A and B are shown apart, each in its own frame.
Chain A
Amino acid sequence: MAKVVIDALLERFPGAVTGAAAGPGGDDVAFVERERIAEVCRFLKEDPALAFNVAPYVTAVDYLGQEPRFEVVYNLLSTRRSWRVRLRVKVPEADPVVPSVTGVWRGADWFERYCFDMYGIRFTGHPDLRRLFMYDEFVGHPLRKDYPLRGRQPLVAERGVQDVYRGPGPAGRD
């Protein structure tokens, strides 16, 4: 199937693509160097034989305890060929900065904002890198594995709840 894609990548970017594997059922992966991800994406989109015109999902993974700690994952789809490919980019914790691919696919905008919101990965060249889900007052990045599970940061003061009846049911009912 999409062995062609892997071969084309390895041939065109011998320095940038550091490892690739064609998995079963079109589950193809390529590891790409962080600095050249935008360039690789532009090639995949603009090459007429490949034409990966959609980025259906861009996300990130936190491998806490490993180095480099983060990974940004780009799932790409070619609607013309019906091919899918997955690009993975290693990102170190000390410098979590990746070039933005919003210039290639405009739809990657909110996905990159999501990665910034949840993992704190910054995308250079992104037009509007704000939080996507959490509010601006929120401190930290909640999907990082070292963020506390119940680390709520309420926006309005919470009242201590006193007026709850905790018996077996309202007395004298029916």
Chain B
Amino acid sequence: MASEIDVVPAIPTRKDEAIGRLQQMVSQGLGWARKYSLFQYPFVTACCGMEYMTLAAARYDLDRFGAALPRFSPRQADLLMVVGTVNCKQAPVLRRVWEQIAEPKWVVAFGVCASSGGFYDNYATVQGIDQIIPVDVYVPGCPPRPEQVLDGIMLLQKKIQGQTHRLVEPAPAPAIVAPGTR
């Protein structure tokens, strides 16, 4: 059992301090830039898509939050919006789309179907897309009001602003897997 006395206090050197301060500044700047330029990939599968259209159109105007531009290629997007029911047959597709999005990436589950499967508790439906991919913000509602989604987007912006962006990524790049071996 380590007591309080045993713990060696970490004394930051001036170099550590400088790097930490720099990292903090860069993180804040990057977070500020990233949260206002969310390029979204709408993975629209079901009736929630109607509400998504309302959200993107002029009345609710997602553009005010810098998330106006839907990209229909995952390689150009950094926010995956999963809008609607995802069934087991579609799960590999969703997984693949998510894998194709370059880091940094975020995921919003739009509606109860995407969040938890909703009332489709049956043989065909995935019980929430978090069974397949990690999710940052869940927006409940069947379908959710556009205001709710705007609230979710603002929560996500808060999260992005608060994230630490490392100056150097220590993790090694993942090995490239030959197609068909996975």
Contacts and interface: CB of A to CB of B under 8 A. Distances in A.
Given A161-B128, A163-B134, A170-B155, A156 B91 contact: yes
Interface residues of B, number: 21
Contacts of A106: none
B132 A151 contact: no
B123 A142 contact: yes
B121 A150 contact: yes
B132 A152 contact: no
A159 B132 contact: yes
A58 to B, nearest CB: 21
Nearest to A154: B88
Given A161-B130, A161-B131, A152 B155 contact: no
Contacts of B122: 149-150
Interface of A: 133-135, 142, 147-156, 158-159, 161, 163-164, 170, 173
Interface of B: 88-89, 91-92, 95, 121-128, 130-132, 134-135, 138, 155, 158
B124 A154 contact: no
Contacts of B89: 133-135, 155
Contacts of A135: 88-89
Contacts of B132: 156, 158-159
27 contacts: A133-B124, A134-B89, A134-B124, A135-B88, A135-B89, A142-B123, A150-B121, A150-B122, A152-B123, A152-B125, A152-B126, A153-B88, A154-B88, A154-B91, A154-B126, A154-B131, A155-B88, A155-B92, A156-B92, A156-B95, A159-B130, A159-B131, A159-B132, A163-B134, A164-B130, A173-B155, A173-B158
Contacts of B91: 154-156
Contacts of A147: 123
B50 to A, nearest CB: 23
Contacts of B124: 133-134, 142, 152
Contacts of B123: 142, 147-153
